[in-house]
Amino acid sequence: MENQSTVNEFILLRFFDTRELQILHFVVFLTIYLAALMGNIFIILTITYDHHLHNPMYFFLVNLSLVDLCLISVTVPKSMAISLTNDRRISFSGCVFQVFLVTTSVGAELSFLTVMAYDRYVAICLPLQYMRIMNLNFCLQITAASWVIVIVHALVQTISTFRLHFCTSNIKQFFCDMSQLWRISCTDTTLNKWLTFAVAVTVDSFCFFLIMISYGFIFSTVFKIQSSQGRRKVFYTCTPHLTVFSLFLSTAIFSYFRRQDLSSTSVDLLAAFLYAVLPPVMNPIIYSLRNKDIHQAAWKMFSFTE
């Protein structure tokens, strides 16, 4: 990156200007961050501890929790530090690091939600072939492939973004957001936007339609089940994933596909909060709230520690 502009640091946006509101912002974000940390670490430890949960569905859930931990840890602590110190600067390399990890995390979130939908399809529609299809090798291979794809994509997006020439160092966001960096660029960003559009049309659309098709087959199978108890059990196992996917989809649509006339500093801050902060907090709550397997595993784990 020798041909970069002379910008060697960026200035992030703070939520409030008054000291009292800055402290309030710090307390709120600290509470949210601790809730996300405890919730996702709880999921990871509980599944790791109980060998009864060592199956594909919970294996992918562990990966989703790791992604959520990464996403919220990259964005929220820096924003809290700004509220405490009033130092809004972030180094050029720190900004590169944020863009890469946020892009990786968001891509991995969609990837694992897609894999989890396929897992539920095989478990419900092809139960007799489940262990043959969703074997350990397949789970490891598809997990490795997911991480490789999202990392390569994040590298391409990050490199293409930071090859731009920046007119100013002021970013109107509480972390280094790729779209905000395009706005302060003096260089033509058409290639960057076309690259993002191409990924959305191909990879993102493929994941979305695969999830929709999986649940189309799942609901078709559910309606053929004669037992009401059996139908409830299927809906019970699918509801958390559907809820998490709906949360992710709604926040992504609001963040990336809203009309330009709805764009403002306040709306951009809300959009970033919705896709970078809210899912890591809500996902472990949704998955553990009514999950009897996780409740039982947690009870065993805490009983053992006592």
pLDDT the model gives residue 259? 61
CATH number for the domain that contains residue 77? 1.20.1070.10
In angstroms, rounded to a whole number, what is the distance separating the alpha carbons of residues 242 and 240?
6
User: How many domains is the chain built from?
Assistant: 1
Domain assignment present for 64: yes
- Determine contact, residues 173/263, Cβ cutoff 8 Å: no
Tally of CB atoms within 10 A around 153: 18
Domain assignment present for 1: no
Strand partners, 114: none
Query: Dihedrals φ, ψ of 82, to 5°?
Result: -65, -40
pLDDT digits (tens, 9 = 90+) for 278-289: 889 988 888 887
> CB within 8 A of 191, min separation 6: which ones?
160
Would the pTM of this model clear 0.85, i.e. be above it? Answer: yes
280 alpha-carbon distance from chain centroid: 7
Of residues 277, 68, 28, 67, the one with CA closest to residue 175: 277
pLDDT the model gives residue 263? 67
In angstroms, rounded to a whole number, what is the distance separating the alpha carbons of residues 258 and 164?
25
In angstroms, rounded to a whole number, what is the distance separating the alpha carbons of residues 95 and 61?
29
In angstroms, rounded to a whole number, what is the distance separating the alpha carbons of residues 24 and 33?
14
Q: What is the DSSP string of 111-135?
A: HHHHHHHHHHHHHHHSGGGHHHHT-
Structure tokens at 22: 């800055």
The letter for the amino acid at 171 is I
Question: 3-state DSSP call for residue 166?
Answer: strand
Domain assignment present for 3: no
pLDDT digits (tens, 9 = 90+) for 41-73: 999 999 998 888 889 999 999 999 999 999 999
Domain assignment present for 2: no
* Torsion sign, CA atoms 290, 294, 297, 301: negative
- Report the pLDDT averaged over residues 18-29: 91
Question: 3-state DSSP call for residue 10?
Answer: strand
Tally of CB atoms within 10 A around 257: 8
Domain with 137 in it: 9-305
In angstroms, rounded to a whole number, what is the distance separating the alpha carbons of residues 297 and 46?
6
pLDDT digits (tens, 9 = 90+) for 124-183: 889 889 999 999 999 999 999 999 999 999 999 999 999 888 888 899 889 998 888 988
pLDDT the model gives residue 260? 61
The letter for the amino acid at 223 is F
- Determine contact, residues 122/134, Cβ cutoff 8 Å: yes
The letter for the amino acid at 25 is H
299 alpha-carbon distance from chain centroid: 28
The letter for the amino acid at 162 is F
Domain assignment present for 149: yes
pLDDT the model gives residue 262? 62
pLDDT digits (tens, 9 = 90+) for 99-122: 999 999 999 999 999 999 999 999
